[in-house]
Structure 1
Amino acid sequence: MSLSDITGALQQPLFTLLDTPVSWTEVLGFGSGALCVYLVARQHIANWPVGIANNLFFILLFTQAGLFADAGLQVVFIALAAYGWWTWARGVRGAELPVRRTTRTEWAVLLIAGALGTAAITWLLVTATESTVPFWDALTTALSLMATYGQCRKRLESWWLWIAADLVYIPLYAHKGLYLTSVLYVGFLALCVRGLVEWRRSLAAPRLEVAA
């Protein structure tokens, strides 16, 4: 079986939700995405390989839906996941990488990069693609990249960035007819709140070992 046969099979409808077909890709993206966020909240290193699988499913899903920035974002996520996996595995002097707060310098760099990135991606989507939601697609891309950087470095405030992104993603995916993915991001939002609470506790009283 060729790669095109596999991707074609994954894009076949599995069931219908609100008169909209839901593909295998969306279902698998739902499951792997929920598991990934849960593992991140638990500070479990397995979140990285699960997240990479989720990115691959979403590349197919978002390309089919015309969310080109989100599809391209998944490729960047895979590269960042490799970095995050390495960072978490290495730790600090042989110990688990601790949760820390984002520094003022990091915030300045992230905010400037986020604003410039949103503007640049919006322009690119308007001029080079048929995206019907260029600004919102670009904004979520920038927020997600900022949050992923924080996740790789175990910065507490990365959860606030994910929460902001999810609040845009939920109506955006519903607008594009990806209802199951929209529901998934409601779950992501709840998991992000849980992750924020757990990482805040970890910051106050660092744990000696990674949660199993």
Structure 2
Amino acid sequence: MHSWIDLFMEQLKATTWPEWLAVILGIAEVLLARANKVWLYPTGIAATLISIFLLLKVALYAESLLNGYYVVMSVYGWYYWVKKQGQPPVKVAYANRREWLITLLIVFVGWGLLYFLLAKFTPSTVPVWDAWISSTAWAGMWLLARRKIENWLLLNISNLFAIPLLYHKNLVMFAMLTLILFVVAIFGYCDWRKIIIKERLTANES
């Protein structure tokens, strides 16, 4: 146990300022998402651009690609939430059957495709793990962009597997950030569920 603490402290001391900045912006992003604020997107874009650089340095190629996907989906989500001027923002809701089908396709087709690419064309030492984390996060980000409550479930599946992988790759601050995101996502799900219940009660009363 003592050796694990020493290793953690060594990794903490070796943490660079870009990693600290990415972590701070990442925490801000998920707190804004939990609060259902559209500012999560510009904050998230800044965090992911820094993360791409850091993840490429440790050969986590699928995670880097995932962060590139985050940037694209953040731009899409930013537009989708705000929509056109004069139109109401998209409401929080549960995913329908079609959206669940798309979600599962993103997870399993993405997992297989990413594994093939990583195993065939990169020197990745963790292709299965890296691909799974990325594909589940892809699906969660797609659901978040559409303001579906299940996004928290998919993102936490990804977080659960990402924590030990990031620690294994000596990205201790990213591992700590992911642990924080895991906890916040639980509260995020509960908060969004309250929003849905409140909107349903308001609709029934009117």
The offset of 1:113, in angstroms, is 2.8
Q: Per residue, is there more strand in 1 or in 2? A: 1
Cα distance in 1, alignment partners of residues 8 and 54 from structure 2: 16
The offset of 1:92, in angstroms, is 10
- Runs (4 or more) in structure 1 with deviation over 6 Å come to none
C-alpha RMSD of the superposition: 1.9
Cα distance in 1, alignment partners of residues 28 and 156 from structure 2: 17
The offset of 1:112, in angstroms, is 2.4
AA partner of residue 33 (structure 2): V
Cα distance in 2, alignment partners of residues 91 and 17 from structure 1: 47
Instruction: Output one character per residue of 1:163-203: Cα deviation in whole Å (capped at 9) or x when no partner.
Output: 11110011110111111111111100111011101100011
- Counting aligned pairs with the same residue, the percent is 27
Instruction: Output one character per residue of 1:92-148: Cα deviation in whole Å (capped at 9) or x when no partner.
Output: 972231111111121122212311110111111011111111111111111111001
**Partners of 1:91 and 1:97 within 8 A in 2:** no
Alignment of 1:27-106 (within 5 A): 27-90=20-83, 94-106=87-99
Task: Identify unmatched segments of 5+ residues in structure 1.
Answer: 1-15
Per the alignment, in what secondary structure is the counterpart of residue 69 of structure 2?
helix
Per the alignment, in what secondary structure is the counterpart of residue 206 of structure 1?
helix
Residue of structure 2 aligned with 1:158, choices 145, 151, 160: 151
Q: Per residue, is there more helix in 1 or in 2? A: 2
Per the alignment, in what secondary structure is the counterpart of residue 116 of structure 2?
helix
Cα distance in 2, alignment partners of residues 81 and 171 from structure 1: 26
**Partners of 1:143 and 1:161 within 8 A in 2:** yes
Task: Identify unmatched segments of 5+ residues in structure 2.
Answer: 1-6
Cα distance in 1, alignment partners of residues 82 and 50 from structure 2: 25
AA partner of residue 168 (structure 2): H
Alignment of 1:107-146 (within 5 A): 107-146=100-139
Cα distance in 1, alignment partners of residues 43 and 94 from structure 2: 25
